[in-house]
Amino acid sequence: MAKSHGHGAGAGPSERAPNPLMGDDLVLPFRTVNSDLIGRVVRLGPVVDDILKRHDYPDPVSHLLGEALALTAMLGSALKSEGKFILQTKTDGALNFLVSDFVSPGQLRGYVSFKKEHPDLSSAHGRGDQGTLIGKGHVAMTIDPTGDTNTYQGIVAVDHEPLIAVAENYFRQSEQLPTFIRLAVAQHYERGLGAHWRAGGLLLQKLPRQGGERSTKEGEEHDALLAGEDDEDWARARHLAATVEDHELIDPALSPERLLYRLFHEEGVRVFDPTPLTAACRCSRERIHLYLERFGAQELSGLREEDGGVTVTCEFCSRQYKFAESELP
């Protein structure tokens, strides 16, 4: 593994000497030396466990949200300036709506709306058939920078495909970048501590060279080769990336740096400063109160409880906010 000590000008992310003790709740950027590809590894421990355990989701729903959080962390951490990255799905399957967002420098949150009595969900176990559970609809990926910079949104259709396929299609259609993605979610059992959710992911991309052109022409099918997909360096490194096992992506005893060395030691790999991740919801009593002030008297009447008050539950973190009748508009 190539190592770089200190910070060099013009090197993109600041390079650093690897720390073999680092492990959970971070995104680690890297670059392969021989093939000159970029990538990121994400490892989620307490962060994904905290988010998923706040909800009483069936296993397939938890698996999907865990994958979405891992993907969101990898993509959001690549923001070049402060801002927000949002992944949203809207489909007709049992898992009809999902939102996961990343706010710089490293805050994650997410939740899922699903049809509890849907037959595809009630009969599913473990990860389930994700394509069937998602169904047909669309996935939106939004970059919302701070300041006066314009918001960018890319939308890709989904038709009974798993989240990994949707993400790779997004990069193929919207970004036109050869991309490999692997995601993994599972419960890790520790003696005396019970089960804890863990998630991980690996992303590898070939960025276009300056002045490069796509190998497809306008009007050709979108599944034709992108510029660089037939490149020997890309094919070789992608093959190495594809050898990663799910358990390696979530193993707390295997640091992300050792994983990268296992995968790309023949290529040479340089790692950069990691992005630490936290589970953070932005709800507050003040924000919820401002939200309730937008309701008219008739709308509020349908929300009032026997004592005239209203209780609001945050969909992201499941925290409840109780407002007495005297506090309401």
13 located within any domain: no
102 located within any domain: yes
Q: What is the SS3 assignment for the chain?
A: CECCCCCCCCCCCCECCCCCCCCCCEEEEEEECCCCCEEEEEEECHHHHHHHHCCCCCHHHHHHHHHHHHHHHHHHCCCCCCEEEEEEEEECCCCCEEEEEEECCCEEEEEEECCCCCHHHHCCCCCCCHHHHHCEEEEEEEEEECCCCCCEEEEEEEECCCHHHHHHHHHHHHHCCCEEEEEEEEEEEECCCEEEEEEEEEEEECCCCCCCCCCCCCCCCCCCCCCCCCCHHHHHHHHHHCCCCHHHHHCCCCCHHHHHHHHHCCCCEEEECCEECEECCCCCHHHHHHHHCCCCHHHHHCCCCCCCCEEEECCCCCCEEEECHHHCC
8 located within any domain: no
Whether pLDDT at 204 is above 80: yes
Residue 84 — very low, low, confident or very high, per pLDDT cuts 50/70/90? very high
Whether pLDDT at 85 is above 80: yes
Look up the CATH number of the domain holding residue 293. Answer: 3.90.1280.10
11 located within any domain: no
**In the prediction, which pLDDT does 216 show?**
39
Do 177 and 48 share a structural domain? yes
**In the prediction, which pLDDT does 16 show?**
39
196 located within any domain: yes
**In the prediction, which pLDDT does 90 show?**
94
Q: In total, how many domains does the chain have?
A: 2
Do 300 and 264 share a structural domain? no
Do 230 and 110 share a structural domain? yes
194 located within any domain: yes
Q: What is the pTM of this model?
A: 0.85
Do 240 and 319 share a structural domain? no
**In the prediction, which pLDDT does 3 show?**
42
Lowest mean pLDDT across 84-93, 167-176, 212-221, 290-299 = 212-221
State mean pLDDT over 89-105. 93
142 located within any domain: yes
Do 116 and 43 share a structural domain? yes
Structural domain range at position 307: 285-327
Residue 13 — very low, low, confident or very high, per pLDDT cuts 50/70/90? very low
pLDDT tens digits, residue range 221-241?
Answer: 444 456 567 689 999 999 999
Do 308 and 207 share a structural domain? no
pLDDT tens digits, residue range 129-187?
Answer: 899 899 999 999 999 987 666 888 999 999 999 999 999 989 988 778 889 999 999 99
Look up the CATH number of the domain holding residue 147. Answer: 3.55.30.10
